[in-house]
Amino acid sequence: MHSNRIIQVEDRVPAKLLIPLSIQHMFAMFGASVLVPFIFGINPAIVLFMNGVGTLLFIFITKGKAPAYLGSSFAFLAPGLLVIDKWGYSYALGGFVVVGAVGCLLAFIIYKCGTKWIDVVLPPAAMGPVVALIGLELAGNAAETGKVVGPEMTTATVITFCVTLGVAVLGSVLFRKFLSVIPILIAIICGYGAALLTKVVTVGQIMDAFRQPLFQLPNFQTPKFNLEAILIILPVILVIANEHIGHQLVTSKIVGRDLLKDPGLHRSLFADNFSTMVSGLIGSVPTTTYGENIGVMAITKVYSVRVIGGAAILSLVCSFIGPFAALIQTIPGPVIGGISFLLYGMIGTSGLRILVDNHVDYGRNRNMILTSVIFVTGLSGVTLQLGNVSLSGMTLAAIVGMLLSLLLYAFDKLKISNDLAETQE
């Protein structure tokens, strides 16, 4: 590493480097990945378990040719919370299972038909704002969780929130080398310290965590299925498919190989969604390839799947350690809110980055219309009621964006648009 030697995907890593590099990968995903179960109100131990299992499945299905770590997906938060509030978490799990199954079907379609149709259904001018809405519509949830608004707000919660957010922001731009990879984890630790000093968390709570049995099983649970709940969550497939493709393109550039061809987009997309389906069946949250771990590879120039596999095994082991799982649950709302305040904004920015990276030309009417309509649909609070099913926010925006994109494509084919797109043969 000191000589900047590139360790390729299939290369073996010396034992003296394998362990610290694996720990680094686990730390990189840890802060963001355990945030999702906190928001859903479940024990994070089951998520650590599934992150490990999902990553190992991904490595196996892609034949060890696509380095990727699977962590908790943020794309499901908004529709998942709607379903949980109305029916309970078990019915959200049913939605996760169906989305995973549809994703596997999409992987088969890509295997047979290629990938060009994806740009027709949701071109960058539509996908960018849809991804941005994942974070933007949850901004209020971050403030409420952090207890910096509402009746639960106190001086102690505000201090804890600000310390957490401040360390995360400053660490992201000031930390160097190894610390630059784990600013979220460091922010959680500093926020937790602030919570102790302000008595948002008590020493008694920490001692209770260490009284838990050394080994215990994660809280497994089974899904329940409801058509209305499924229809609320199902449109997320459009977002996670695009997110996965984007991650594979970025990883391809980093490792210097075309991963969309070998092992193939159909394999990696199937592995990603198969992991989500299994997650729903055992009580965990949906999984996705993690940008944080892609960043680790870019910094270290270590692309070995053995390192990522080592991180997955570490995550599996931690999920069975009772005090570790219990200690995670003592992390207070202001700490989680402070982290999510930044992460939700970063998710929104990642949607804008799609627009920038794809050089979306807003001098063209179609791009301006697509982005504008999707943003307004997602943020206006408009709700579409179809029987007992309510569609709103990012879910409704994704559907509107898809229909509008197909309509504009039809106008192009009929040659009646005054803003005709250049077609690619």
Q: What string of pLDDT tens digits covers the 425 residues of the chain?
A: 444 567 787 778 777 778 877 876 776 676 677 778 888 888 888 999 999 999 999 999 999 888 888 988 888 888 898 899 999 999 999 999 999 999 999 999 989 887 677 778 878 888 888 878 877 877 777 788 788 888 888 899 999 999 999 998 898 788 877 676 567 778 888 998 999 999 888 888 888 888 888 888 888 999 999 998 998 898 888 778 877 877 787 788 778 888 888 888 999 999 999 999 999 999 999 998 876 677 677 766 778 888 888 889 988 888 898 887 777 777 788 888 888 788 778 777 877 877 888 888 888 888 899 999 999 998 888 888 766 556 777 778 888 888 999 998 888 888 887 776 444 44
Please check whether residue 168 lies inside any domain of the structure: yes
Over the stretch 186-211, which tens digit does the pLDDT of each residue have? Answer: 888 899 899 999 988 888 888 888 88
Burial 372-410 (b: 16+ CB within 10 A, else e): ebbbebbbeeeeeeeeeebbbbbbbbbbbbbebbeebbe
Residue 219: strand, helix, or coil: coil
Residues 6+ apart with CB under 8 A from 74: 32, 36, 134, 135, 343, 347
Residues 6+ apart with CB under 8 A from 289: 58, 68, 69, 70, 243, 244, 247, 248, 251, 268, 272
* Nearest Cα to Cα of residue 129 among 409, 384, 391, 347: 347
pLDDT at res. 5: 67
Q: How far apart are CA 134 and CA 354, in angstroms?
A: 14
Site of tokens 């088969």: 108
**Three-state SS annotation for 84-149:** HHHCCHHHHHHHHHHHHHHHHHHHHHHHHHCCHHHHHHCCHHHHHHHHHHHHHCCHHHHHHHCCCC
pLDDT at res. 346: 76
pLDDT at res. 163: 93
Q: Cα dihedral angle (204, 208, 210, 215), rounded to 10 degrees?
A: -170
pLDDT at res. 3: 43
Residues 6+ apart with CB under 8 A from 386: 231
Helix boundaries (H) for 8-88: 15-40, 44-61, 77-86
Distances (CA, A) of 406 to 138, 140, 333, 420: 28, 32, 42, 14
pLDDT at res. 389: 59
Residues pairing with 272 in the sheet: none
Residues 6+ apart with CB under 8 A from 222: 90, 93, 281, 282, 283
Please check whether residue 233 lies inside any domain of the structure: yes
Please check whether residue 391 lies inside any domain of the structure: no
Please check whether residue 384 lies inside any domain of the structure: no
Please check whether residue 286 lies inside any domain of the structure: yes
Distances (CA, A) of 69 to 129, 166, 247, 291, 315: 25, 27, 11, 9, 11
* Nearest Cα to Cα of residue 178 among 346, 2, 343, 296: 296
Q: How far apart are CA 208 and CA 152, in angstroms?
A: 24
What does R_g of the chain's alpha carbons equal in angstroms? 21
* 91 contacts 229 by C-beta, under 8 angstroms: yes
Q: How far apart are CA 362 and CA 375, in angstroms?
A: 15
Please check whether residue 240 lies inside any domain of the structure: yes
Look up the domain containing 40 and give its range.
Answer: 15-360
Please check whether residue 92 lies inside any domain of the structure: yes
Please check whether residue 263 lies inside any domain of the structure: yes
Q: How far apart are CA 74 and CA 219, in angstroms?
A: 21
Q: How far apart are CA 279 and CA 262, in angstroms?
A: 26
Number of domains, the chain: 1
Q: How far apart are CA 381 and CA 375, in angstroms?
A: 11
Q: How many CA atoms are closer than 13 Å to the CA of 6, on its beta-carbon side?
A: 8
Over the stretch 82-103, which tens digit does the pLDDT of each residue have? Answer: 899 999 999 999 999 999 999 9
